[in-house]
Structure 1
Amino acid sequence: MTKKNKNLLVRPFLKWAGGKRQLLPEIEKYLPKSNDIKNYFEPFVGGGALFLNQQYSKVTINDFNGQLTNAYDVVKNNVHDLIELLKEHENNNTSEYYYDLRAWDRTNKLENKSRLEQAARFIYLNKTGFNGLFRVNSQNQINVPYGKYKNPAIVNEKVLLNVSQYLNEANVQILNGDYADAVKNASSGDFVYFDPPYAPVSDDKSSFVGYTLNGFSLDDQIKLSEVFKELDKKGVKLMLSNSDVPFIRDLYKDFKDTTKIVQATRNINSNAAGRGKVGEVIVMNY
């Protein structure tokens, strides 16, 4: 399922809040053997750190964020034109230019742009916006301020080319929709990694609720645990990352014997309790 010799240039091409790059050494300790995996599913793909690192050969990725999944699709199918357009953005990069492009979703320009133009804008805003955040207001308009970085890596040409090559060679299926729909065909012998927006770590239940357009409520966390249990009954191998809080531990108490606790660093949180070293759970059914 994984390449014997991984391509080290196949790695995330986006900055992503909650990304798993720093946790990969821990996660890799607990992954199923690649020879035991028929198909791999990542229904909350985000920056894609795990699937790009593992370079599985039969992969379905999904995210609710259509701008994100469009970027993956354009990297897969039109990477050379994407690189050229990103170079234009890099040459024009200023605070004023950033806010002009950001305003596309405030002036109805965005819907009239090609998928290529939308993807290049998304990547440019990601690389130059504050902390690589994807955050929208109630009108689904990106509202992240300009990051004021001296030399942002807007065009990482080698990474984009190699990720494109991998997405094509592995025929990675890219979906944009509900995570439950993305895994509905998973069956015995398949492996699903869930990396949802995390449950809040503070008592007010309002901190760090996620990266999707509409957030991820506690009811959504309950629904996800039910999907997890249904897939478990089908013989699907499962792994899930989330906050190490009583609410999550209780949802997955049936898997407590195969749940691991790890420490991760979080810098993006509306509440100070969720910053710094924070406990995370890795729930598995194997």
Structure 2
Amino acid sequence: MKINPIIPWQGGKRRLVKELTKNIPEHKCYVELFTGGGALFFMREIASKVEVINDIDGELVNLYRVVQNHLEEFVKQFKWALVSRQMFDWLKNADTSLMTDIQRATRFYYLQQLAFGANTTSRSFGTATTTKPINLLRIEEQLSEAHLRLSGVTVEHLSWDKCFEKYDRPHTFFYADPPYWKLSGYGMEFGLDQYQKLADLMSSCDGKVMLSINDHPDIREIYKAFNIQQTELAYIIGRKVESRGKKSELIITNY
């Protein structure tokens, strides 16, 4: 069942889904190590027998679990909500320590829908002259398919390597979409040693692994032993001129 991701996400792979899908091998267990917005998970035509989505971001994981299990109560939280800069700032600065999981999920969803560039670390209220803001009256309609898509899916909140080790089997397919090397805005440290660790696991694991990453000499050196495909995407969002234009992306597999 092909549907749209439920939130925008910095570094999302919506435009790369067609190329990624072509490279998915036969498997029984599908695991995303860095789910983020989950473009590949949501936009694939055919679901796998067993599916696992994982992310280190606790607020994101909470959102998926709430949409999976408590959609009706989630939608009720938007009854009196408005699309406004004032509400955005209020929610951004709100103390989440006393919120329920459903309230936290509502806050995260609202902020992510309205944040400029889908940034999760330094959110600012996004404005646009060519697209409409989120329609708060149609949230249930928009998320009903996602609720069904998430049915039976295991939602994990593990470090990527712990998730890898937990699910590595000969019939497992891993999709890895880690933070891009030398690009900021992800809100987490991901040093070159982490890419090397992933390469080491790709060499020794039982399962099949597909990695999508930005094209950089350091990355090509680390993954030179694997199959590397190059593709290009046009980036148009960003305040800095150097962040726009065509960028080379790599799809790397161990099969």
Question: Normalised by the size of structure 2, how large is the TM-score?
Answer: 0.90
Task: Tell me what 2:219 maps to.
Answer: 248
Q: Supply the AA of the counterpart residue of 1:224.
A: L
Which of 133, 136, 142 is the aligned partner of 1:159? 142
CA gap of 1:227–1:247, structure 2 versus 1, over 3 A, is: same
Q: Distance in 1 between matches of 2:155 and 2:63?
A: 10
Which of 45, 55, 61 is the aligned partner of 1:69? 61
Q: Supply the AA of the counterpart residue of 1:243.
A: N
Q: Distance in 2 between matches of 1:154 and 1:110?
A: 24
1:102 aligns with 2:85: no
- Give structure 1 stretches of 5+ with no counterpart: 1-5, 136-142, 201-207
Task: Tell me what 2:9 maps to.
Answer: 16
Q: Supply the AA of the counterpart residue of 1:98.
A: F
CA gap of 1:152–1:194, structure 2 versus 1, over 3 A, is: same
SS in 1 for 2:232: strand
Q: Supply the AA of the counterpart residue of 2:24.
A: L
Task: Tell me, yes or no, if the aligned pair for 2:202 and 2:254 is still in contact at 8 Å.
Answer: no
Task: Tell me, yes or no, if the aligned pair for 2:203 and 2:254 is still in contact at 8 Å.
Answer: no
1:223 aligns with 2:197: yes
Task: Tell me, yes or no, if the aligned pair for 1:209 and 1:216 is still in contact at 8 Å.
Answer: no
1:124 aligns with 2:106: no
Task: Tell me, yes or no, if the aligned pair for 1:128 and 1:149 is still in contact at 8 Å.
Answer: no
1:219, distance to aligned residue in structure 2 (A): 2.4
1:31 aligns with 2:24: yes
SS in 2 for 1:193: strand
* Identity rate, percent: 31
1:149, distance to aligned residue in structure 2 (A): 4.8
1:77, distance to aligned residue in structure 2 (A): 0.6
SS in 2 for 1:239: strand
Q: Supply the AA of the counterpart residue of 1:180.
A: D
CA gap of 1:251–1:271, structure 2 versus 1, over 3 A, is: farther
1:270, distance to aligned residue in structure 2 (A): 7.7
CA gap of 1:259–1:18, structure 2 versus 1, over 3 A, is: same
Q: Supply the AA of the counterpart residue of 2:197.
A: K
Q: Deviations over 1:60-100 (max 9, x none)?
A: 111111111110000001011111213432xx222111111
- Give structure 2 stretches of 5+ with no counterpart: none
Q: Supply the AA of the counterpart residue of 2:194.
A: D
Q: Between Structure 1 and Structure 2, how many residues are aligned?
A: 248
Task: Tell me what 2:157 maps to.
Answer: 176
Q: Supply the AA of the counterpart residue of 1:187.
A: R
Task: Tell me, yes or no, if the aligned pair for 2:33 and 2:163 is still in contact at 8 Å.
Answer: yes
Q: Deviations over 1:4-50 (max 9, x none)?
A: xx3x4x32010111111111111122221xxx211000010000011
CA RMSD of aligned residues (A): 1.9
CA gap of 1:145–1:274, structure 2 versus 1, over 3 A, is: closer
1:88 aligns with 2:71: no
1:222, distance to aligned residue in structure 2 (A): 2.0
Task: Tell me what 1:3 maps to.
Answer: none
Task: Tell me what 1:264 maps to.
Answer: 233
1:199, distance to aligned residue in structure 2 (A): 1.0
Q: Distance in 1 between matches of 2:213 and 2:31?
A: 17
Task: Tell me, yes or no, if the aligned pair for 1:17 and 1:132 is still in contact at 8 Å.
Answer: yes
Task: Tell me, yes or no, if the aligned pair for 2:117 and 2:238 is still in contact at 8 Å.
Answer: no
